[in-house]
Amino acid sequence: MNFMNFRAKLEGIQNGIMGNYESAHKHISNSLKQIDSSIKSLTKLKEEMQKWDTFMSRAVTKSEGLTIRKLTHGNPEIRDLIKSAEESEKSVRGTDTSSGVGLTTGSGVTEKAVSLFYAIRMRKSPL
């Protein structure tokens, strides 16, 4: 009788351990699938960010050659608008801005170009 009782307890423990193992295995398997999915998602995101960086690099390269003269070529309305904004700035600051120096720099847009942009936007003129 003691042997039968011992055997029943042993089988109960074995079944409990097996159930825990199967449950743990299922959870680990699901976790690994989620990790794989996350890795794929992050890899895709990394590729998209690399593409974005490439596009932005190209945009910076193209913008470095921009000048007011190139932007206004064949568009007298914008040229007049820029001249008007420069004259307004000249009257406000009391400085000569007619040379166009400072509108763009190799590293980006200066304060003058930003104020010019806002002057153009306020008049709702198409670029």
| Top-confidence residue, 74 or 15 | 15
Give residue-wise pLDDT tens across range 11-36. 999 999 999 999 999 999 999 999 99
Q: Is there a single domain that holds both residue 18 and residue 39? A: yes
Taking the C-alpha atoms of residue 106 and residue 13, their distance in angstroms, rounded to an integer, is 76
* Domain identity same for 12 and 58: yes
> Do residues 47 and 103 share a domain?
no
Nearest Cα to Cα of residue 116 among 106, 92, 64: 92
Q: Are residues 1 and 45 in the same domain?
A: yes
> Does residue 106 or residue 2 have the better pLDDT?
2
Q: Are residues 7 and 48 in the same domain?
A: yes
Tens digit of each residue's pLDDT (9 = 90 or more) over 26-65: 999 999 999 999 999 999 999 999 999 999 988 888 888 7
Q: Is residue 110 part of a domain?
A: yes
Together in a domain, 74 and 112: yes
Q: Do 72 and 59 share a domain, yes or no?
A: no
Residue 110's pLDDT is what?
A: 52
Segments forming the whole domain that contains residue 74: 65-122
